[in-house]
Structures are given as C-alpha cells and as structure tokens.
Structure 1
C-alpha cells in the first residue's frame, strides 16, 4: 500500500532542481508548481492565440506605420494572468495545501496511531498506515477546500434589499456556495470508482479462485466504463438541450461549438417540450424556424408548426441533405476533421520528446481513434434524433399531430442521448475509464444547483474531504506519484 513519504530519499532519484528542498516539503512544492502551471498555462495559450489573431487582422488592415498593433494590452494581460495564479485563494495554493498538508500531517498522526496500536484490534493495527493516510488527507482536504471557498466572486454574491424593508436601510450582500462543486464531484466520482473497483476486484479474485468466473461477469468488467460514459454523456446532452444553465458555462459553450447547431433549432426543441410550439396550432412561434428556413434557402412554411406537421428533417440537417443517413455521414466527416486538428498536434507533441517511427505510428493511430470517437458521438446523436422522429418513431406512435408532438417534445432527443455515448467503444480500452470519469461528475452536477445557500457548504466540504481521503489512501495515479516522488 502506498503512503505519503516522510523519510529521506537519495538525491539521485530526484530532479536536480529540488535537491536542496527538504524531502518532507518536496510534495508541497511540486504540487504548487503543478497547480500553478495547470492554472496559468491554458490562460496564457488563449491569450497568445488571441494576440496572434488580432495582430494578423490589424496587419492586413494596416495602411500606415501608425496602425501597427500595440503590445501594451498584451503585456498587461500577461502580467495579470501570471500574478493572478499567485493569489493565495486560488488553485495552486489549494494543491499545495492538499498534497503538502497531507504529507506534513501524516508524521504526527502516525506517531499517535503507533501509541494507540496496543489498544487497537488486529485489523485496525494492520491498517494503521492506511488510517493515518486517510485522516491526514481528510484534514488537509477539508482545510484546502475551505481556502478555495473563502474567495468571493461576483457570480456567487447578490446584493438584496433588507428583508425588514426598513426605510433607508442599506442593501446587504448575500453570499452563495457552489464555486467548488465541480471539484467536489470530481473527487466523489473518483472515490466511488476506487471503492467500486476494489470491491469488484476482490469479487473477481474470489470467483476465479473458486472457478466460477463467468463470461457474463467478464462482459460486465469490459462494459462498465462504456456504460458509465454512455449514461453520463446522455444526461449531459439532455441537460444541454433543455436545462443548459445546469452545466458549467465554458463546458456548455464547448458542446455547442462541437455540435455546430443553429441556436434557433435548439430553442424550437425547447419550445416543443414546454408547449410554446404545438403542432396544428398557431401559437406565434412560426417566425422562429421560419427565419432559419429562409436563411438556409428553404421555404418559410416548412418551419410553421401550424402547417408543417412535423417540421421537416431538412431543418434538423441544417440544409445539408434531405437524407438522414447522408446527414449523419457528413456530420461524422466534419467532426472527424475538426477533432483531428486538435488531437493530432497534441499526440505529436508527446512524441517529439522521444521521436521514433513506432511512436509516430502510435500517435497517428491514437489521434485517429479519438477523432473517430468524437465524430461518431456527434453523428450518432443527430441520427438518433432523426431515427426517433422520422424513421422508427412514427411507426410506433403514429403520424398524427399528438404523436408528432410527443416525438419532438423529448423522445427524439432521448434517442440521440441514448445512442451517442456508445461511441466510446471506438476509443482505446485504457482511455475509456478516464473519459468516463471526466464526464461523470458533470452528469452528477445536472442534478444539483450551481449555487446554493452558504450555510449548507459544510456538506460539500465533508463530501470532498472524505472522497479525497479515500482516493489518497486507496490508490495513487501516475500524476500523484510524480508529485509525491514515489
């Protein structure tokens, strides 16, 4: 069982840059630098790309030397990003407090457990190293998350009038919790994976030893991660269509960018569900899809729900083709190219450190598989929608206005959500768990409010601390091993 190191290690196993740092403090320093890099690097990359884009646009438009781009805004933004990462209430300090605090607390706690060992049961005595790690991690996680939660931001504060409505009373500031919800759900998901994985592994060993391990149980082992991803991604896509405010803004924006769908079509689907659009009735919603049809070169009447029952799939296809199958294939091709432009440079960058023909081949295959996964995800979602509202749905529910209303008010989206996630089977088996555990916390967040009363924040802190302690005491991922120097 791995525990946090508290003893001296040979300098030969360390990087030269931290040889002079006391071994007990090395995890803290590494965690802080890693947290700072992960916090600042994406912002620096976005700033650089934005600066290059603006500079190119200005150079094309420039007619005199005075039109050259000014570097002062770039430098001020660069300084703001670099300084912002040093704020003691931000992610780097949180990482240092979590990892470093766990390490520093483990030594005194171990001494306490050693003194109590005589009074402990045999099981507790054998497990005191894990208990020490658990308690040290729990305390460090509790305090480090409170450090993040102590920072006030405008999106989690409101200014309201005095409830007693006293004349001349100044408004008061109400603070809400929820800033760290995504981080907490990430920890909870990882802890559940640790517990479930450990229980299933023990069951597998017992069954194999007894000769009773079946093909069905082996299939469960293979399909658990894909099923978790399929369920989680389906919930996320459903939420993105009907309840987008429950998703993180940046995440919802990325989904919209990848889906490449006209916002008017999404609003029409929402309107079908809430009854604003009713087939066979003039509810004043005709201009919504009518304007979209006009922009796509289609007759406006195709978007009028009082006349077109249902609105044609050509609108869902955004004018690319009347064929649902042709549209799905086109979606796959476009999404594959878009994803490959992202995945291929990243995979090649990893090979650059140790270039080889075999490494290049692995990078190309990995990028192609990941791109095919994302392309298939998008294509299956759209085809699932068409399958329900055009191909199979009318055969099962009928073709009348009421049946069409049912199909377009949720059934078609549910079909797309049910299909899209199984594209994960195209990914490498080793990556399926990582992708599933990335999406699962976001799916869990759809059942919770993005903001909640500050008085209930202790529940989130407790969940984070307990989950982090389970993860730290139960396993160490490759990243954590590098931070701790194991």
Structure 2
C-alpha cells in the first residue's frame, strides 16, 4: 500500500471508530463499559495524583511515584478495570443470556418464530448476570492485595478511607494485620443497596395503604411516602451521628484520620481536653480520688489560656457540687462556677468565651456557620456555573440556591452548637446543679456530658432540605457501621471476614445494578445519578428530566450529585 494511502487509512481510523461507537445504542455493553472505565479512572487518578500537585513532600521522586500510580490504575487489577468488569461485564452477560434465551422453532405452517424460554424472568437474568460479573470484579481487586500492601502499607482503592494509624490500635493489633482493601467500598455499596430495598419497601407499604383505604388521591400517597422516607432518613442520621461523635470523643482510631481532623477543626476543641475525657473513661483520671497519671494535663491548659495553673489541679478540683464545691472555688479564686464541681468552664471553653456557657454556644455556632458557608457555597454554585450558568440570571433561582447554602450551613452550625449546649447543660447549667451529690466522674464521664452531646446533635438534620437528608444519612452510615466493627475481627484476616466481605460486595453491587434497570425509582442521590449515566448514558430519561428542569427558574434543583457533597473522609 502506498504511503499516502496508509496515512489516509490511519487518519480515517479514529473517525471510523467514532462512527461505530455512535452507531451503538446507549445501553450497549461496549458503551456501558467505556463510560464505566472513564468514570472509574477519573475517581482513581484524581485522589491518587492530587498529593503530587499540592505537596512538595509527595513530589520528591515524583516521576517514579507517578509512573507507579499510572501502572497501578491502568493495570488489569486497577480500580477502573475491575469496576468495568463488574458493570460492563454484567451488561454483556445479560445480553448473552437474552440471545441464548431465544430459540428458533417452526410452527405447523413451517414458518420460523421466536419463543422465549420462561425458565428465568428478566429480573432474575439481570441479577444472575451481575452476580457473575461482580464476582470477577472483587477477584480482580484482591489480586493486587499482596503487592500493593507491601509497597504502600495501605490499599489505594477510591471511595475508601486510609487505614487508621493509631498507637492504641497498633499496640493490640499486629502491624501486619490490615483491613481488606475493599472493605470501605463494600460498605458503601451495601448501604446503597440497602437504601434501594428500603425505598421499595416504603413504596410497597404506601401501595398497601392505598389499597386498604381505597384512596385515589395520588398526591396524598406521594406525601405519605415522602413523610416515611424523611423520618427514616432522620432516624438513620441521628443514630450514625451519635456513634461517630462517640468515637470522636473516645475511640478516634475507629474513624478516618482526616475525618477526625476535620471534626477537630470544626469543633475547635483542645486535644488535651479530649485526653482528659478519655482518661476519665479509662479510669486513669478521677475527681473522687483526686489522682491522675497525667496530673498536669488540665493545668497546662489553664497556663496556656492565661489562668492560674491551680485551676486545673486535680488535687483541689471538687468532685461534687454543693458546699464542697463552693469552698473549693473560693480557695481557687473561681467566681463563675458557683456550687458546681468539675473543671471550670473557662478551661472547657478555652479562649472562645471565657466563663459564659451561652456565649460559648453562640460563638462556636457562628464560627461553624462561617466555615460551613465557605464549604457549601462552591458545592451549590460551582456545578451550576459549569453546566447551566444562565439559570443564575433568574432572581428566583439565584435566591433559591443561596437559601440552600444558608440552610446547609445552618444545619452544620446547629450540629456543632447543639453538642456544646448539651455539654454545658449537663455539667454546669442544669443536671449537675439538680443532682449535686453525683460525682463529676459521671458528669464528665462517657455517660455524662459527651453522651448527651452525641445524642442531641443528630436532631439538627431536620434543618436540612428533605431530599438532602437522605443523601447525608447515606454519607455517614458507612462510617458509622465501620466504627461499629471490631478492629481485631476486621484486621484478623480470617476466612469468615474475607468470604463475608466478598459475598456482601457481590450481592450489593448486583442489587444496585439490577435495581437500576428494573426499579430505577428505588435509587436516589449519588447512586441514581451515577448508575443512570453509566447504564443509560447522557440521554437517559433521568438526565433529560434534569436538563428540562433547569430551563425553568422556578423548578427545584432536585437531588443531583452536586447537592449532597459533604466534608471529605479520605
């Protein structure tokens, strides 16, 4: 072939490939595989390469490290390839089953006709196909298990948290024992699959109620469905936030390091105060016995803030309220504590508000609101600016988006301030005054002020928009479940852990993919947005409806992916 003809052939190859891909329907297995690979690769490379861009330490030997990252993520056992096998493979197997389910027979007239073998329903075929592909995906993930852990000490699977590196945990668990590289991803898929089943159950309950009451009012049925969903979301968030905050106070090794750091920044609390709370729980700090293994812990806080060191002297601090406390505070020169025992409020509040509990709650709520507003402003506005900026020219849409930012910031602000309010009401303003004969080993212990704060903070979810409550609840639920799992069991590497995690991964991913085809109404938020794009492409009905809504400035934003973003956990 002449050189000119060869160049022409090579030049036309990309166009021919593009024409071929455009000729395929959006739900073709090849189209699904390409979209899955592109999306998965972006999720994998983004977090993996980000440290090289923002950290000078990570850039040392940058070319070699970058090459290793690219090799890992573009490899057969990389996240993108494994997820493509799990999602695209299921679509291919499903199409193969449909072809095999058709047989050619001849009727009495000799004409060919097609009959479908009725051994399996379409839903069963879809689920079976997804189970096979998901099993291959989890097998690919775990093929890189040994090499990755020797090289990096943790598994860089996207959408997962780093392995905690806490001294308390590592003192009881072997340094070679590490959780499964896909554990957090499995929990994420499990939660989304459970949510899908819950939405189906709610729809079924509402349908039964409608049949029983013989009502034809569709609006009333939908209202009841939203009410049930909202209450369930609020309950889930309340339980999860209580567990997460409990772990933050007493078992931070159960949470991702960055999650702990973010809560510490938002709460603006001295780490020595947390050490004192943990010491009370461990029994190494006692008001009643006036002893501690770290007697200068609170004294150092007083010194740094500018108060007398004796204000933090455990040998003098009163364990009970009443006359004993009044005499102790007179000796120490503390005028704001009255007849209540425990650590002075000035040291608990730090440099924020002095002795006033009311000012402390208000100031911390205002600080949290400012930080949350700065966080949520780009979360709400940036996706609109990138995809449909003209909608912001409408005053109603601009105002609605701004109000959504204010509402989200108020939610996070109330979350923080409610914890401080519960702490102050328990140990200073109400309960400790009502029951002065109870020791502050109880009020400042694990079932005192911190317990109250952990219980009440979840109620702030009612400030958020109804459709955002569900996505926030689904965000925190995997972390709460992870915090409930025993580190010894998770890191033990036993067969029960491995098999249970793999079965959970397979069933969860299969359920989500099957629901996306046969019950798309049961998916919502991130899972609905992602699966609609992957399985049906940008021309999916869900996406068309979203674009159609955007043309009207009076239409709500819905629960698109951009509307549920929360503080990072990895």
Tell me the residue number matched to 1:99: 87
Tell me the residue number matched to 1:446: 483
Q: Is the 8 A contact 2:287 2:439 kept in 1?
A: no
Tell me the residue number matched to 1:323: 356
Deviations, residues 306-329 of structure 1 (Å, cap 9, x unaligned): 322311222221132212221111
Match of 1:478 among 518, 521, 529: 529
Where does 1:52-67 land on structure 2 (aligned, <5 Å)?
Answer: none
Tell me the residue number matched to 2:76: 88
Report the TM-score, using the length of structure 1 for normalisation: 0.80
Assess, with a 3 A threshold, how the Cα gap between structure 1 residues 73 and 429 changes in structure 2: closer, same or farther.
Answer: same
Between the aligned partners of 2:20 and 2:492, the Cα distance in structure 1 is: 44
Q: Is the 8 A contact 2:254 2:483 kept in 1?
A: yes
Q: Is the 8 A contact 1:348 1:360 kept in 2?
A: no
Q: Is the 8 A contact 2:202 2:225 kept in 1?
A: no
Tell me the residue number matched to 1:182: 184
Assess, with a 3 A threshold, how the Cα gap between structure 1 residues 298 and 142 changes in structure 2: closer, same or farther.
Answer: farther
| Higher RCO (CA 8 Å, separation ≥ 6 residues) | 1
Between the aligned partners of 1:178 and 1:347, the Cα distance in structure 2 is: 34
Report the TM-score, using the length of structure 2 for normalisation: 0.69
Please identify, of 469-478 and 232-241, the stretch whose mean Cα deviation from structure 2 is larger. 469-478
Match of 1:27 among 32, 43, 49: 32
Name the SS of the counterpart of 2:436 in structure 1.
coil
Between the aligned partners of 2:29 and 2:192, the Cα distance in structure 1 is: 26
Q: Is the 8 A contact 1:178 1:452 kept in 2?
A: no
Q: Is the 8 A contact 1:177 1:454 kept in 2?
A: no
Q: Is the 8 A contact 1:380 1:419 kept in 2?
A: yes
Q: Is the 8 A contact 2:311 2:344 kept in 1?
A: yes
Q: Which one has the largest radius of gyration?
A: 2
Deviations, residues 10-46 of structure 1 (Å, cap 9, x unaligned): xxxxx98953778321111111111111222245455
Tell me the residue number matched to 1:275: 283
Q: Is the 8 A contact 2:280 2:286 kept in 1?
A: yes
Tell me the residue number matched to 1:380: 418
Unaligned runs of 5+ in 2: 1-17, 104-114, 156-173, 215-219, 319-341, 521-527, 541-570
Match of 1:464 among 491, 505, 513: 505
Q: Does 1:433 align with 2:448?
A: no
Match of 1:143 among 120, 136, 145: 136
Q: CA deviation at 1:393?
A: 2.4
Tell me the residue number matched to 2:317: 308
Assess, with a 3 A threshold, how the Cα gap between structure 1 residues 220 and 349 changes in structure 2: closer, same or farther.
Answer: closer
Q: CA deviation at 1:433?
A: 0.6
Between the aligned partners of 2:494 and 2:203, the Cα distance in structure 1 is: 39
Tell me the residue number matched to 1:133: 126
Assess, with a 3 A threshold, how the Cα gap between structure 1 residues 284 and 430 changes in structure 2: closer, same or farther.
Answer: same
Unaligned runs of 5+ in 1: 1-14, 55-70, 158-171
Q: Is the 8 A contact 2:77 2:141 kept in 1?
A: yes
Between the aligned partners of 1:16 and 1:460, the Cα distance in structure 2 is: 42
Assess, with a 3 A threshold, how the Cα gap between structure 1 residues 216 and 206 changes in structure 2: closer, same or farther.
Answer: closer
Assess, with a 3 A threshold, how the Cα gap between structure 1 residues 178 and 79 changes in structure 2: closer, same or farther.
Answer: closer
Name the SS of the counterpart of 1:179 in structure 2.
coil
Q: CA deviation at 1:464?
A: 1.4
Tell me the residue number matched to 1:242: 250
Q: CA deviation at 1:119?
A: 6.5
Assess, with a 3 A threshold, how the Cα gap between structure 1 residues 272 and 196 changes in structure 2: closer, same or farther.
Answer: same
Tell me the residue number matched to 1:163: none
Q: CA deviation at 1:299?
A: 2.0
Q: CA deviation at 1:469?
A: 1.6
Deviations, residues 41-87 of structure 1 (Å, cap 9, x unaligned): 24545543446xx9xxxxxxxxxxxxxxxx98666666555555324
Where does 1:26-425 land on structure 2 (aligned, <5 Å)?
Answer: 26-50=31-55, 81-111=69-99, 120=119, 128-150=121-143, 151-152=145-146, 153-154=149-150, 155=153, 176-211=178-213, 219-280=227-288, 281-309=290-318, 310-321=342-353, 322-353=355-386, 354-355=388-389, 356-358=392-394, 359-396=397-434, 398-400=435-437, 402-410=438-446, 411-425=448-462
Q: CA deviation at 1:110?
A: 3.5
Name the SS of the counterpart of 1:227 in structure 2.
helix
Tell me the residue number matched to 1:12: none
Between the aligned partners of 2:492 and 2:251, the Cα distance in structure 1 is: 17
Q: Is the 8 A contact 1:273 1:408 kept in 2?
A: no
Assess, with a 3 A threshold, how the Cα gap between structure 1 residues 252 and 284 changes in structure 2: closer, same or farther.
Answer: closer
> How many pairs align?
434
Between the aligned partners of 2:20 and 2:306, the Cα distance in structure 1 is: 63
Between the aligned partners of 1:319 and 1:72, the Cα distance in structure 2 is: 39
Between the aligned partners of 1:209 and 1:195, the Cα distance in structure 2 is: 21
Q: CA deviation at 1:286?
A: 2.2
Name the SS of the counterpart of 2:296 in structure 1.
helix
Q: CA deviation at 1:445?
A: 1.0
Q: Is the 8 A contact 2:29 2:89 kept in 1?
A: no
Name the SS of the counterpart of 1:373 in structure 2.
helix
Q: Is the 8 A contact 1:175 1:454 kept in 2?
A: no
Between the aligned partners of 2:205 and 2:264, the Cα distance in structure 1 is: 42
Q: Is the 8 A contact 2:233 2:470 kept in 1?
A: yes
Where does 1:4-19 land on structure 2 (aligned, <5 Å)?
Answer: 19=22
Name the SS of the counterpart of 1:138 in structure 2.
helix
